[in-house]
Structure 1
Amino acid sequence: MSNYKILYVEDDATLAFLTKDNLEQNQYEVHHCEDGVSALACFQQMPFDICILDIMVPKKDGFELAEAIRKLNLDIPIIFLSAKTLKEDRIKGLRLGADDYLVKPFSIEELLLKIEIFLKRSHKKEMRENSHYQIGKYTFDTKNYLLWNNHEKIKLTQRESDLLKLFMDNKNIVLKREEILKALWGTDDYFMGRSLDVFISRLRKIFTHEPGITIENLHGIGFRFSIQNQ
């Protein structure tokens, strides 16, 4: 059975039921939301492989939702489904970072084909990226948010995992505080900065007994994830 998770946002109950049913029959795990606010909350709580968004949904429309998703994840495929047929709407959607734009009424066969194409493309890109790192005695699995060694297995949150991956991709290099915030949240907002400090404290605690691994705080500048002899 496919492990691919789809975030599906549609406020038309009948269309949502039919589309979700067809996707599930094709072995996709579908999480359906009726408005943009609940959809964004859902996206922040779990990892998805692809997003299918209607544009005219309540509270936060599909355009706003896609923009918010792109700030959190630059790579996840996004497909718009919409009754809006104007060329300007299609161009706006694509400029916001959508991968495709299907006009309602759409063919479920075409939608399934698009999903398959974008997931294959996304999967190939992931395969090219490093998903496992060795950090001292720990192995870091970025896809499953796990750190483990011979004695323990530590489950990270997605943000903690993203932060640790960012540090590993830039080990022994100073990262400015605002660079980290924008990479993780798309903004250098003060309250996100407080969350960053909490995540860094937890990572420091995890690596307390790992010789040669430190997270240096360069006051007024940022942080450096230092690894000696690796």
Structure 2
Amino acid sequence: MNTKILLVEDDSDFGMILKQYLELEDFEVVWFKNPEDVVTVLASDFPYQFGILDIMMPKMDGFSLAKVILKQKPQFPLLFLTAKNQKIDRLTGLKIGADDYLAKPCDPEELILRIKNILKRTTAHSPDLQQKIGDYILDSDKLLLIHPKGNIRLTIREKDLLIYLLQHNNQMIKRDAILDNLWETNDYFTGRSLDVFISKLRKYLNHDPTIKILSVRGIGFEINFPER
């Protein structure tokens, strides 16, 4: 069965180009020009496996729509499209829970590659589905960080980063190594994205003071998780 993609783009010309290109790659695409129509569909039936959202849209922007979708579908993979190169847009999207972003006009081949990489991470199952992390349990299959004080729903990117850190426990990891392995690219914006995700993981794990994710200025991070 072909992956069914939700495309939300108010620009008719750009939306049509994207839809046609994605369909050439054997994706099934349902294109919405009005994000409010997506909210209506979400309340009844939502048969999509992936979402591509434009940020700048009238009435309801992509960020607002993403919050509504992720509230009901926390594991739904999302990629943002933005016509601006301002870092605030990109970082805001990642904080909301998006898996990736691209600036318009984007290279269609790069878009396809990013979609496939995200879907690969979405459908991949870790051989160890539950891992003990200090006072926490990471359930990779359900994207849950479980703690007696409350569970935290992770995005796929957050889960992948946390697993990578666990695999390098008690080591100093270079920023470039993380970006090359998880983002498969290394530029200013992906570097800032990494900082956002590290900050979020620190916040999620703050109930156990024995867990340390230390920044080594100009180099990377030193990781210390208790082995219990």
Give the shorter-chain TM-score range. 0.5 to 0.7
* Partner Cα distance (1:127, 1:5) in 2: 27
Which amino acid in structure 1 is aligned with residue 20 of structure 2?
D
| 8 A Cα contact 1:34 1:58, kept in partner | no
CA distance 1:35–1:126, shift in 2 (3 Å): farther
Aligned to 1:117: 117
Q: Supply the distance in 2 between the matched residues of 1:20 and 1:46 (Cα, whole angstroms).
A: 18
Taking a change above 3 Å as real, the CA distance of residues 65 and 107 of structure 1, as seen in their structure-2 partners, is same
Q: TM-score, normalization: structure 2?
A: 0.53
- Report the equivalent of 1:173: none
SS in structure 2 opposite 1:18?
A: helix
Checking the alignment, whether the CA contact within 8 Å between 2:53 and 2:62 is kept in structure 1 is yes
Q: What is aligned with 2:94? A: 94
| Distance in structure 1 (CA, Å) of the matches to 2:127 and 2:14 | 34
Structure 2 unaligned segments of length 5 or more: list them: 130-149, 154-228
Aligned twin of 1:65: 65
Deviations 1:77-113 (A, max 9, x none): 1000111211111111100001111001100000000
Q: Quote the Cα distance in structure 1 between the aligned partners of 2:127 and 2:4.
A: 18
Question: How many equivalent pairs are there?
Answer: 130
Aligned residue number for residue 142 of structure 1 = none
TM superposition shift of 1:13: 0.4
Structure whose alpha-carbon radius of gyration is higher: 1
Q: Distance in 1 between matches of 2:54 and 2:128?
A: 31
Q: Percent identity?
A: 42
Q: 1:8 to 1:126 in 2, by over 3 A?
A: farther
**What is the RMSD computed on CA atoms of the aligned residues?**
2.2
Does the Cα contact within 8 Å between 2:82 and 2:89 map onto a contact in 1? no
Point out which structure has higher relative CO (alpha carbons under 8 A, 6+ apart).
2
What is the distance in 2 between the residues matched to 1:8 and 1:126? 29
Q: Which runs of 4+ in 1 moved over 6 A?
A: 126-129
Q: CA deviation at 1:42?
A: 2.8
Secondary structure of the corresponding residue to residue 105 of structure 1: coil
TM-score, normalised to structure 1, is 0.53
What corresponds to 2:6 in structure 1? 7
Letter in 1 for 2:69: I
- Describe the shift of the 1:29–1:86 C-alpha distance in structure 2 as closer, same or farther (beyond 3 A): same
Q: Retained in 2: the 8 A contact 1:5–1:48?
A: yes
Query: Distance in 1 between the 2:67 and 2:127 partners?
Result: 26
